Structure 1
Amino acid sequence: MTASAAPGRTASGKPPARTAPRTALRTELRRGIAPWTGLAVAVTLLVPLWSKAAQWQGSWGETQTQLHAAAALLGGPLVAAAACWQGGREHRRRTAELLLSVPRSRLAQVTTAATPIVLWAAAGYLFALAVAFAATAPYTGAGSPSLSVVVTDLGLLLSVGFVGFVAGRLVRWRLTAPVLAVVLYVLLGAPGYMEAKARFLSPGEQYTLWGSVPVWWFAPVLLAWTGGIAATVLLAYAARRRLSAVVPLALAVAAGTVIVHTGADLFRDDPTATRKVCSASEPGVPQLCVKAPDAPALPSVSAALAGMFSRLEGVPGAPVRYVDSGFGPKDGEAALGSATRGWNLTRNKLTDPQAYASNTALTLVSRDCPDGTRTSERKAADRVRFTDDAVRTWLAGDDSTWDPEARPLVARLKAMPDSDRRAWLGRFLATLESCTPAEVPAL
């Protein structure tokens, strides 16, 4: 009488061979276009990101804004085209009829064949994400990246992968893949030009993630929307009971309704972006206050304004604090010049410190007066304008004025004894809120 085989082993005592689906999946993961898809996704995301590094390095929000745009508008069509090409493989090899004799269900066959593409696409996205985060981390201030945006970007790539695969199975035309990529690019990008709330249904909507963060239920709803559509397509094509596609379809419709109803309220203000961070208080040196994400740029800002502060030292009424214009300067404060990443701020360093100092000096001497001036006062108004220009030029240490007629006034200001110049500047600063030319001291 022969002994029965032990559980989990064959009659010969050896473990059973791996199941066919698992073996097929591992084979597909190692060869074919799936690994190349992951590499293509990583390169497609990193090349445009790197070309705009000056705009996002140092800001988690800007980093994810740029990465999301690239993942949706470039990565999405690429993954859909690769999956579509994979889906049409059996038609090109003339083995579609052979699959009908395989004991596995159509749904199992489709998921096994499409999964390597979407997994490698996700790997390519995560690699690009890691590179971008590693590049921006050394320059960031307050805040952190949003996991919700990462999850929704991954959900988009997975969803379009399965939809693209089904399209490849259904349409035998060889140009289906590139045409699908173009169509998907238009479908993802076109809603961004709409004003209606329905534009948020597009996973390619350009989010402004600097200064705002998604609400806590952002990821689940977006995943239900994109994933529901993908599951509907997949089940309608491959499920034995196609009516089961109604369940994910209903879920997608419910999620889409919530998205359209919510609109821009899918995002809320980021409290870290409005938190004020100030430089250390030092005797005789005005304090600088910026938004928390820009705190690492304070040393560069301080160095750019050092000359201006030295010229204002001892001047009666000179500001004791300079703040970001978003905070609204109060008494004894003045607004800082504008510092925008990718424009005049790169990796927390001002690209043109002289221009920044000139811009800050301009905000200090600007007068909020009506544009219209009576003809009889035109000459007096021009004198004030030239005086303001001369003070701005001298404070910023510029080489020349904006208006040639203000140059002699700069020479007079430089020629004044220090005590007389400080007294005159004190009288000048006291009239910055006045629009009456006669009240502004002459040079």
Structure 2
Amino acid sequence: MGHLTRAVFRAELRRGIAPWVAPAMALTIVVPMISKAAQWQGSWGETQGLLHSLTTLIGGPLAAAAGCWQGGRDHRRRTVGLSLSVPRSRAAQLVMAALPVAVWAVVGHLVAVAGVLAASWPYTGAGGPSVGMIVLDAWFPVCAVFTGFVVGRVWRWRLAAPVLAAATYLVLGIPSYSSSDLRFLNPAEQYYLADQVPVAWFVPVMVLWTGAPVLALVIGYAVRRRFLAVVPLVVAALLAPLIVSSGEDLFREDPVAEKLICTEAVPQVCVGGLDGPLLSPASDALAGLVSRLEGVPGAPVRYVQTSDSRRLPPDTSRLPYTSRGWTVVRDRIADPAGYAWETAHFLTERDCPESVTEGVEEDPATVRVRETDDAVVHWLAPWGSSRLDPAQGAVYLNRLTAMGDTERRAWLGRYLATRTSCDPKAVPAL
């Protein structure tokens, strides 16, 4: 019997729709990935986040349709009676017919994943892909195939497969627009993995949650003791509150991302641990700004990539936020001059409460400070056309430019000493 089962399984692997599922699944994932390569190459998290979305939202309906088509094969061939005459149980027949499609779906998915990860690897820094997410994503097409197979067996209509694909896409896609934590029950929820990793129990819990309803469906269709379908449904009911209550806590900060990688030269340029390849481009982009601040008292000794400048010490300034596909493409800063300008802007940014600035926007002293800040930014990092007010800001820039090196360094030193001050009287005049 074992030899016969293996022979049947090998035959099913080689014939019908099953072998075509692998290239279809691979192309379904790879083609959209290629079109968005600039947005994910260089980040394991961005790469796997997009892989997850494509595998579930696009690959899932494809797998369900393939399973449905396979399930309706006997009805199309009018060989249902012949299948029932075979001594194998309905469950065994189901597994022998659906499993080959699921296997090829997983093969296609893994081929796509391997190719995409290989394309991202040359541009990545520390860290690595999450094996758990790969397993979870590979599991979903298996569940989709078996679900589609049962639907194909029950729903005797030639257009059942494409209709099921469309319905699956809607069922998976619509919940992603919700802001409720119930959306995390959706296996196709789009996860933000750029600097996060799943908690330890996330993958096994989601594997059970995704597979339990499918197992219940298969048991209800193919097993004589259909009441056993209650068991996986109970498991799913127990897991659902855990997933919903956890919500955003299903993921934690990637410890690698929290570490800083810095240049040895002073002033140091520091980026997050996952963005190590950006260290050299960032240093090159800031070379002009650093040169202009050389010898200035109070100039930053460190430039750090962070989202919260309030936690930085006085001798440290903030680097701009980078977004792959926009400001960074394959570990190259798309606009170095703009990057330097934004860094200079952060250096002169005053975190003043609204109670200080509200109602005094046109106060001459406040305007003078704002235009002085803009003139310093433009002198440190010129970028594009001048954005200075020609009546005052441009005058300040001309005065700063006309100063001798010694005089300018002294004035900048006094200016930087007040860069966190909200008192206009404290800011030195140009």
TM-score (norm 2): 0.94
1:272-283 pair list within 5 angstroms: 272-280=256-264, 282=265
Name 1:222's counterpart in structure 2: 206
Name 1:324's counterpart in structure 2: 305
- 1:348 is aligned, of 327, 331, 335, to 331
The answer to whether the Cα contact below 8 Å between 2:348 and 2:377 also exists between their aligned partners in 1 is yes
Q: What amino acid sits opposite 2:267 in the alignment? A: P
Q: What amino acid sits opposite 2:377 in the alignment? A: R
Q: What amino acid sits opposite 1:357 in the alignment? A: A
**Alpha-carbon distance in structure 2 between the residues aligned to 1:270 and 1:133:** 19
**Alpha-carbon distance in structure 1 between the residues aligned to 2:67 and 2:384:** 60
Name 1:437's counterpart in structure 2: 424
Q: What's the offset of the Cα at 1:209?
A: 1.4
Q: What's the offset of the Cα at 1:434?
A: 1.9
Q: Structure 1 residues 436 and 128, CA, compared in 2 at 3 Å: closer, same or farther?
A: same
| Deviation digits for residues 79-138 of structure 1 (CA, Å, limit 9, x no counterpart) | 001110111111111111221111111111111111111100000110111011111111
- 2:285 is aligned, of 304, 307, 320, to 304
**Alpha-carbon distance in structure 2 between the residues aligned to 1:252 and 1:434:** 57
Q: What's the offset of the Cα at 1:246?
A: 2.5
Q: What's the offset of the Cα at 1:315?
A: 0.7
**Alpha-carbon distance in structure 1 between the residues aligned to 2:240 and 2:421:** 54
Q: Which stretch of structure 1 is more off in the superposition, 108-117 or 377-386?
A: 377-386
Name 2:38's counterpart in structure 1: 54
- 1:124 is aligned, of 94, 108, 115, to 108
1:144-183 pair list within 5 angstroms: 144-183=128-167
Name 2:413's counterpart in structure 1: 426
Name 2:367's counterpart in structure 1: 382
- 1:39 is aligned, of 23, 36, 39, to 23
**Alpha-carbon distance in structure 1 between the residues aligned to 2:189 and 2:346:** 35
Q: What amino acid sits opposite 2:418 in the alignment? A: T
Name 1:78's counterpart in structure 2: 62
Asked if residue 115 in structure 1 is aligned to residue 102 in structure 2, the reply is no
**Alpha-carbon distance in structure 2 between the residues aligned to 1:345 and 1:126:** 28
Q: What's the offset of the Cα at 1:173?
A: 1.4
**Alpha-carbon distance in structure 1 between the residues aligned to 2:36 and 2:90:** 44
Q: Structure 1 residues 238 and 376, CA, compared in 2 at 3 Å: closer, same or farther?
A: closer
| Deviation digits for residues 255-301 of structure 1 (CA, Å, limit 9, x no counterpart) | 22332233222222221111122111x2xx31011210012100000
Q: What amino acid sits opposite 2:346 in the alignment? A: T
The answer to whether the Cα contact below 8 Å between 1:198 and 1:260 also exists between their aligned partners in 2 is yes
Q: Structure 1 residues 160 and 375, CA, compared in 2 at 3 Å: closer, same or farther?
A: closer
Q: What's the offset of the Cα at 1:147?
A: 1.5
The answer to whether the Cα contact below 8 Å between 1:214 and 1:267 also exists between their aligned partners in 2 is yes
Q: What's the offset of the Cα at 1:177?
A: 1.0
The answer to whether the Cα contact below 8 Å between 2:361 and 2:367 also exists between their aligned partners in 1 is no
- 1:369 is aligned, of 335, 352, 373, to 352
**Alpha-carbon distance in structure 1 between the residues aligned to 2:332 and 2:33:** 20
Q: What amino acid sits opposite 1:402 in the alignment? A: R
Q: Structure 1 residues 243 and 370, CA, compared in 2 at 3 Å: closer, same or farther?
A: closer
Q: What's the offset of the Cα at 1:438?
A: 2.7
**Alpha-carbon distance in structure 1 between the residues aligned to 2:144 and 2:215:** 10
**Alpha-carbon distance in structure 2 between the residues aligned to 1:36 and 1:324:** 47
**Alpha-carbon distance in structure 1 between the residues aligned to 2:339 and 2:193:** 25
**Alpha-carbon distance in structure 2 between the residues aligned to 1:221 and 1:99:** 36
Q: What's the offset of the Cα at 1:201?
A: 1.1
Q: Structure 1 residues 113 and 399, CA, compared in 2 at 3 Å: closer, same or farther?
A: closer
Q: Structure 1 residues 370 and 258, CA, compared in 2 at 3 Å: closer, same or farther?
A: closer
Unaligned runs of 5+ in 2: none
Name 1:314's counterpart in structure 2: 295
The answer to whether the Cα contact below 8 Å between 2:307 and 2:321 also exists between their aligned partners in 1 is no
**Alpha-carbon distance in structure 2 between the residues aligned to 1:375 and 1:390:** 20
Q: Which stretch of structure 1 is more off in the superposition, 150-159 or 378-387?
A: 378-387
Asked if residue 64 in structure 1 is aligned to residue 48 in structure 2, the reply is yes
Name 2:342's counterpart in structure 1: 359
Q: Structure 1 residues 375 and 42, CA, compared in 2 at 3 Å: closer, same or farther?
A: closer
| Deviation digits for residues 190-233 of structure 1 (CA, Å, limit 9, x no counterpart) | 22222332211110111111222112121211111111111111
**Alpha-carbon distance in structure 1 between the residues aligned to 2:38 and 2:246:** 33
Q: Structure 1 residues 20 and 375, CA, compared in 2 at 3 Å: closer, same or farther?
A: closer
1:248-263 pair list within 5 angstroms: 248-263=232-247
The answer to whether the Cα contact below 8 Å between 1:214 and 1:268 also exists between their aligned partners in 2 is yes
Name 1:247's counterpart in structure 2: 231
Name 1:96's counterpart in structure 2: 80
Q: What amino acid sits opposite 2:211 in the alignment? A: G
The answer to whether the Cα contact below 8 Å between 1:393 and 1:400 also exists between their aligned partners in 2 is no
Name 1:7's counterpart in structure 2: none
**Alpha-carbon distance in structure 1 between the residues aligned to 2:90 and 2:76:** 18
Q: Give 1 or 2 for the bigger CA radius of gyration.
A: 1
TM-score (norm 1): 0.91
- Count of aligned pairs between the two proteins: 424
The answer to whether the Cα contact below 8 Å between 1:278 and 1:290 also exists between their aligned partners in 2 is yes
